């Protein structure tokens, strides 16, 4: 079956620290992988995506590389800001599937 | 213009009532979804429609009934509301069954 395992939170970092949020997946076939972000009181926004092995998705200083050999899609950012405080969700979608499978979400708090 | 809009944003109602949440997308997408987010932020698919046809109907009580009058709308009607229905409900859409989903702002339902 399809599933996403995401690093448990919450994560608290100081401003300008390096961020890694781990995500591994199990999927039938070759999934597309996504990171979504949910800011307080808002809906989910697509942060970045990768649709095949070795692709790197990037946006707003965040990056994630699709690693087929380790079935991972870890989210990284070199220098976080207070405005990055949010809940981050890793997700996958397989060809022919009809919905996104989400991880449990990781709450990030960045303190000044 | 909001891409995926759902109304109302907040809904407080008593147990036993019937309520509806409306969703509209102006992206020309073929596929629409309803997700439920519980108090721990876990996201679970409820329904998926492709070109007005029901594709996914996960294990949800039959008190929940989706209605898709056209490709741009997917409304959610809930009968005989229960305390456990309290959650945030998200509508989403995607170009097709394989691409990323765009989410609405969510409807926070509170049953008292």
Q: How far apart are CA A29 and CA A93, in angstroms?
A: 10
pLDDT at residue A13, rounded to an integer: 97
Q: What confidence tens digit (pLDDT) does each residue in B34-68 have?
A: 999 999 889 999 999 888 888 877 778 899 999 99
Residue B24 or A1, more confident: B24
pLDDT of residue B1: 62
A26 interfacial to chain B (CB closer than 8 Å): no
pLDDT at B80 over 80: yes
| Residue with token string 């590389």 | A65
B3, B40, B43, B55: best to mutate for the A interface, most A CBs within 10 A: B43
Tell whether A11 lies on the interface with B, counting CB pairs under 8 A. Answer: no
Judged against a pLDDT cut of 70, whether residue B81 lies above it is answered with: yes
| pLDDT for the residue numbered A8 | 82
Give the span between the Cα atoms of A66 and B59, in whole angstroms: 31
Mean pLDDT of B62-83: 94
Residue B99: asked if its preceding bond is cis (omega within 30°), the reply is no
Q: Is the pLDDT of residue B2 over 80?
A: no
Whole-angstrom distance, CA of residue A24 vs CA of residue A7? 9
Q: Which of B6, B23, B41 to mutate to test the interface with A (most CBs of A within 10 A)?
A: B41
The pLDDT, as a whole number, for residue B64 is 94
Residues with pLDDT less than 50, chain A: none
Task: Select the residue of B40, B41, B45 nearest A99 (Cβ to Cβ).
Answer: B45
What's chain A's Rg over C-alpha atoms? 13
Integer CA distances (angstroms), B9 to B2, B21, B53, B82, B109, in order? 14, 9, 26, 19, 8
On the 0-12 / 13-18 / 19+ scale of CB atoms within 10 A, A23 is buried
| Across B88-96, average pLDDT | 93
User: A51 in contact with B at a CB cutoff of 8 Å?
Assistant: no
Q: Is the pLDDT of residue B88 over 80?
A: yes
pLDDT at B79: 97
What is the 8-class DSSP label of residue A83? G
Alpha carbon distances (Å) from A29 to A94, B56, B58, B82: 7, 19, 21, 38
Mean pLDDT for all residues in chain B = 92
Higher pLDDT, A94 or B87: B87
Give residues 59 to 88 of B whose Cβ lies within 8 Å of A: none
Please count the residue pairs, one from chain A and one from chain B, whose beta carbons lie less than 8 angstroms apart.
55
Residues on chain A touching B97 (C-beta within 8 angstroms): 96-98
């Amino acid at each position: 079956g399809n599933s996403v395992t995401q690093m448990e939170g919450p994560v608290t970092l100081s401003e300008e620290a390096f961020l890694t949020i781990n995500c591994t997946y199990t999927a039938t076939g070759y999934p597309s992988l996504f990171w979504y972000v949910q800011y307080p009181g808002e809906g989910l926004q697509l942060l970045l995506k990768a649709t095949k092995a070795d692709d790197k998705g990037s946006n707003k200083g965040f990056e994630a590389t699709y690693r087929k050999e380790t079935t991972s899609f870890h989210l990284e950012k070199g220098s976080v800001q207070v405005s990055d405080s949010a809940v981050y969700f890793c997700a996958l979608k397989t060809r022919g599937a009809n919905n996104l499978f989400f991880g449990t979400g990781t709450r990030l708090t960045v303190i000044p | 213009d909001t891409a995926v809009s759902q109304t109302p944003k907040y809904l407080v109602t008593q147990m036993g009532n019937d309520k509806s949440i409306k969703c509209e997308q102006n992206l020309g997408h073929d596929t629409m979804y309803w997700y439920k987010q519980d108090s721990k932020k876990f996201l679970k698919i409820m329904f998926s429609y492709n070109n007005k046809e029901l594709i996914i109907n996960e294990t949800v009580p039959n008190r929940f009934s989706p209605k898709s009058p056209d490709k741009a709308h997917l409304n959610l009607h809930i009968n005989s509301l229960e305390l456990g229905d309290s959650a945030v409900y998200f509508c989403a859409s995607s170009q097709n069954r394989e691409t990323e989903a765009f989410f609405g702002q969510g409807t926070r339902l509170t049953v008292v």
